């Protein structure tokens, strides 16, 4: 991590998804903070105290993101885990509850699917970071896909995502470099279109 941070301009997103007792999470985040990474993740889990500990351990050196509900998790999964019907029937309610915990703990933002990001932004404001995994291309083919709540790069950006986590569409592509460039172009085109609309230009 230190070598990557010192070698180039890239910011490091360390997605460890810490989830343990508060004291352990605090110590782990303190060690992460000394690596110079930009983002580090902790599960919102079941305890506000664990999130508080993560932020305390970060000591302002790293931006802590709370992982709300994994994009592989469906309503059926949440029901099977014993959550109340209000959460299992509407995952957005569960995501928003966990996001509120993260905000109250002082996290910089959350990791959430593209299906919830617009609600995160509307409720917690533009400065509360929304990082979105579960990104898929419209015509992309992903084998053995375990993701339940997915969106395209354009959809995520339009809904307010600040950062996209894109794995398999690039990693498993026949030409990963071409896939990455295609995704980057889609993101840029979406941003340009959104800026044009804000400036009152005709919609294409």
Distance between alpha carbon 18 and the CA centroid of its chain, in Å? Answer: 14
Please identify which of the residues 11, 17, 61, 97 carries the catalytic annotation.
Answer: 17
> Where are any strands of DSSP class E within the chain?
13-18, 39-43, 63-67, 109-111, 129-132, 163-164
Cβ atoms 143, 172 nearer than 8 A: yes
139/130 Cα distance (integer angstroms): 25
The set of residues, in sequence order, having a beta carbon less than 8 Å from that of 180 and lying 6+ positions away, is: 170
Cβ atoms 14, 4 nearer than 8 A: no
44/95 Cα distance (integer angstroms): 10
Distance between alpha carbon 44 and the CA centroid of its chain, in Å? Answer: 12
* Count of beta carbons in the 10 Å neighbourhood of residue 173: 18
20/29 Cα distance (integer angstroms): 11
Active site includes 17?
Answer: yes
CA–CA distance from 126 to each of 39, 76, 100, 112, 159 (Å)? 17, 31, 15, 15, 12
- Kindly list the catalytic residues: 17
């Amino acid at each position: 991590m230190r070598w990557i941070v010192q070698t180039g301009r890239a910011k490091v997103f360390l997605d460890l998804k810490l989830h343990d007792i508060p004291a352990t999470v605090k110590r782990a985040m303190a060690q992460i903070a000394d690596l110079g990474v930009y983002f580090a993740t902790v599960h919102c889990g079941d305890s506000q105290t664990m999130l508080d500990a993560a932020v305390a351990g970060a000591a302002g050196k790293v931006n802590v993101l709370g992982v709300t509900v994994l994009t592989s998790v469906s309503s059926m999964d949440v029901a099977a885990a014993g959550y109340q019907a209000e959460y299992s029937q509407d995952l957005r309610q569960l995501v928003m509850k966990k996001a509120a915990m993260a905000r109250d703990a002082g996290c910089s933002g959350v990791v959430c699917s593209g299906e919830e990001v617009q609600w995160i932004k509307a409720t917690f404001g533009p400065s509360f970071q929304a990082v979105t995994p579960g990104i898929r291309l419209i015509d992309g083919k992903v084998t053995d896909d375990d993701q339940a709540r997915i969106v395209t790069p354009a959809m995520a950006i339009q809904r307010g995502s600040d950062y996209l986590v894109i794995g398999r569409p690039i990693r498993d592509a026949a030409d990963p470099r071409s896939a990455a460039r295609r995704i980057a172009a889609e993101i840029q085109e979406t941003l340009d279109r959104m800026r044009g609309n804000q400036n009152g230009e005709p919609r294409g």
